[in-house]
Structure 1
């Protein structure tokens, strides 16, 4: 597979009740590329959002669920979440403003 570029790493932000509560602690949750590592996620956040300085990255990988349609079985796509904590002197991420 080709190398993952920083703009391919972050797919979309995850908006849940828990992630909204963690935003007060400067922790943001994103859905990321399943093969991206923590270093790539950190680099992507710092390049995409001006003034963001990443303190730590925690990742959660989930395998696809087994689904059934009639007699055939299949799997949904695997996903990966990243919880990104910013430093105290970092700017907040503007995509989450006003939510």
Structure 2
């Protein structure tokens, strides 16, 4: 729990944006015991680990991050780009579990 001391609680509340609920994220969760989150673009691995441990009261083994480029989209003759996102694949220690259906 020493990682919680390094960061302010206010900052940790802004790191995790949302859990990713998709077919790929569900397969990763079942196979590798990982949970996928959308995180703020400037979040670091230690911040993500501390935020998950603080909010969900679980122990995190490791964190992997992936930056995703926004897709190029077209509307009529104009082209635009969706926002870039950052995802965190959080590996929990054996026996740990995050249940998103529970009431807080």
TM-score, normalised relative to structure 2? 0.76
| 2:63 equivalent in structure 1 | 57
| 2:48 equivalent in structure 1 | 41
Please give the per-residue CA displacement for 1:48-89, whole angstroms capped at 9, x wherever unaligned.
101x11110011101212212222222111011111001125
Q: Following TM superposition, by how much is the alpha carbon of 1:96 offset from its aligned partner in structure 2, in angstroms?
A: 5.6
| 1:93 equivalent in structure 2 | 98
Question: 1:96, 1:59 → 2: CA distance?
Answer: 24
Question: 2:69, 2:15 → 1: CA distance?
Answer: 18
Structure 1 residues not aligned, in runs of 5+: none
Aligned residue among 16, 22, 42 for 2:22: 16
Determine if the alignment matches structure 1 residue 70 to structure 2 residue 70.
no
- When the two chains are superposed, the root-mean-square deviation of aligned CA atoms in Å is 2.2
| 1:30 equivalent in structure 2 | 37
Please give the per-residue CA displacement for 1:9-60, whole angstroms capped at 9, x wherever unaligned.
111111223322333442111111122111111111011101x111100111
Change (3 A) 1:54 1:35: same
Greater helix content: 2
